[in-house]
Amino acid sequence: MKKLILLIASVFWCVSAGAQLVTDNDDVLRDLFENQLGLAVSEINPAAMPGLREVITSQGVFYATPDGQYLLRGLMYNLTEGLVNETEKTMTRVRLAGVASFADSKLVFPAKDEKYKITVFTDTTCTYCRRMHSQIDEYNDLGITVEYMAFPRYGTEHPSFNELESIWCADKPQEAMTKGMAGQKVKPKQCDNRLAEQYAFAQSVGVNSTPAIIAKDGSLMPGYLPPKQLLQTLQKIK
Q: Is 129 a catalytic residue?
A: yes
Please give the average per-residue pLDDT across 79-90, as a whole number. 92
Catalytic option among 73, 95, 153, 169: 153
What pLDDT shows up at residue 81?
A: 79
What pLDDT shows up at residue 77?
A: 95
Cα of first residue to Cα of last residue in the chain, in angstroms, is 30
Q: Which domains does the chain have, with CATH numbers?
A: 5-86 (3.10.450.70), 104-235 (3.40.30.10)
User: In terms of pLDDT, which residue wins out, 139 or 23?
Assistant: 139
Beta bridge partners, 36, equal: none
Q: Give the burial class of 80: count Cβ atoms within 10 A of its Cβ; 0-12 exposed, 13-18 middle, 19 or more buried.
A: exposed
User: In terms of pLDDT, which residue wins out, 148 or 20?
Assistant: 148
Catalytic option among 53, 129, 130, 169: 129
Q: Is 95 a catalytic residue?
A: no
Q: Is 171 a catalytic residue?
A: no
Please give the average per-residue pLDDT across 104-133, as a whole number. 97
The per-residue pLDDT for range 38-62, each reduced to its tens digit, is 999 999 999 999 999 999 999 999 9
Q: Residue 102 pLDDT more than 90?
A: yes
What pLDDT shows up at residue 62?
A: 96
Confidence of residue 24 (pLDDT cuts 50, 70, 90): low
Percent of the chain with pLDDT over 70: 90
Lowest mean per-residue pLDDT among 12-21, 29-38, 68-77, 225-234: 12-21
Catalytic option among 53, 73, 95, 123: 123
Strand 53-57 to 107-109 pairing: unpaired
Q: Is 153 a catalytic residue?
A: yes
Contact 165, 194 (CB under 8 A): no
Catalytic option among 73, 95, 126, 130: 126
Closest CA to 220 of 209, 230, 207: 207
Contact 31, 22 (CB under 8 A): no
What pLDDT shows up at residue 82?
A: 84
What pLDDT shows up at residue 168?
A: 98
* pTM of the model as a whole: 0.85
What pLDDT shows up at residue 18?
A: 35
What pLDDT shows up at residue 238?
A: 78
The per-residue pLDDT for range 161-210, each reduced to its tens digit, is 999 999 999 999 999 999 999 999 999 999 999 999 999 999 999 999 99
